[in-house]
Structure 1
Amino acid sequence: MNDLFRRGLALALPLVLAAGCTPAAQKVDPPLAHASIGGPFTLTDQTGKRVSDRDFTGKFRLMYFGYTYCPDVCPVDVQNLARGLKVLEKRDAALAARIVPIFISVDPARDTPAVLKQFVGAFHPRMVGLTGTPAEIAQVAREFRIYYKAQAKDATGAYTVDHSRVAYLMGPEGQPLALVRQDGTPNEIADDLEQWAR
């Protein structure tokens, strides 16, 4: 190998390697691609209407499991997610319109459609609140790998519900795509949605 060829190779190799490593050249699968998360469900929305997963076909779903009587994280997380979606609406209204925010209750005894209507209406006009029978909620929680457990009632009859704290972005066919940073800033949440809702 002569010196001229060697020097040319030394100069060209970093450029070739750099070109092969640019984000545009790489196709990255969503973090939850092929994960066993999600499945069919039929629940009741905040208007009292029966709704199934098929009603959201063709839409991305931003899904959060919680309960309206939650004293701390649920209202904060849902507010963050709603604010992030509103940021995305300003950035890319067409993309944001393809994302349905969904709140699924893990406290069906107290979260009636009327209670859910007031709760989700406080955060985003397009947010869907879903509840159901204890058996229906247990099934959808299993499908989405959500842990929840009602704690013992206090002297007044009040209780809390321990549950998984997670926000999923699901694809138009109900496939899992990514976790969304529900405790992130509105811009970070919008970034998550923009990155994976494509």
Structure 2
Amino acid sequence: MKFITLFARSLVIAGLALVLTGCLDEEQQWNAKEIDGMLPDLEFTLTRSDGETVTAEEYQGQVRLMFFGFTNCPDVCPATLSKLTRAIKAMPADLQDDVTPLFVSVDPKRDTPERLGEYVNFFYDRTVGLTADEPTLRKLAKRYRTTFGYDEPDERGNYNVSHSAAIYVFDGQGNARLLLRSDLPTDQITEDLVQLARQARS
């Protein structure tokens, strides 16, 4: 009888350990691709849409979503901005202000600070529009292992800009944490942002 009692207790303890382990694993799960230690911390010196020069420290403590694009982008950029806006607004109200999207224009020839500001504010008033001269932008893109390029202008001088659709997610300390794919469902983006925002407050 004593052996049976001890065996039963062992089963209960083992079961609790499995449950607790499952809870811990669940807390560490992400929908987006984890990039901890794969990319450098967030660092930049760029021109904001209000004409001010800003650095990454300006938004320290915030979960930052950085991606590259341009205001004349016909599809990827507006779709991305719309999706991120929906994802953030689906977060608990008290956490929404802890997330800041950073839209970096790689088309400084056409995207003046004023134009950039009007563009990002159309989607979400907390999105920060940033740009710089081309050499600075190329250095920043290289830092995060991406690139961009310009097509030949047409007879009217219009041209397309090729760029990555990836969204880099940095935590409150500026550490690279996640890479969001363009096809990731909005609700899954929200889940990841909520988890990161709560971690930033802890």
Same fold (TM over 0.5): yes
Match of 2:49 in 1: 46
Once the two structures are TM-superposed, the CA of residue 99 in structure 1 deviates from its matched residue by: 1.2
Other-structure match for 2:109: 109
Deviation at 1:79, TM superposition (A): 0.9
Deviation at 1:106, TM superposition (A): 1.4
% identical aligned pairs: 31
Displacement of 1:46 in angstroms is 0.8
* Unmatched 5+ stretches in structure 1: none
1:77 matches 2:52: no
In 2: Cα distance, 1:10 partner to 1:54 partner? 52
SS in 2 for 1:68: coil
TM-score (norm 2): 0.83
Q: Distance in 1 between matches of 2:25 and 2:140?
A: 38
Q: CA deviation at 1:183?
A: 3.7
Amino acid at match of 1:42: T
- Per-residue CA deviation, residues 56-105 of structure 1 (Å, 9 max, x unaligned), is 112111112111111111111111111111111xx2x2322111111001
Question: After alignment, is 174-183 or 127-136 more displaced?
Answer: 174-183
Contact kept in structure 2, 1:116 and 1:129, CA below 8 Å: yes
- TM-score, structure 1 length as denominator? 0.85
TM superposition shift of 1:10:
8.3
Cα distance between partner residues in 1 of 2:8 and 2:42 = 56
Q: Which amino acid aligns with 2:75?
A: D
- Partner residue of 1:15? 15
Q: CA deviation at 1:125?
A: 0.9
Size of the aligned set, in residue pairs, is: 194
Distance 1:27 1:55 in 2: 29
Q: What is the rounded CA distance, in whole Å, between the counterparts of 2:15 and 2:103 in structure 1?
A: 48
Q: CA deviation at 1:128?
A: 0.5
SS in 1 for 2:109: coil
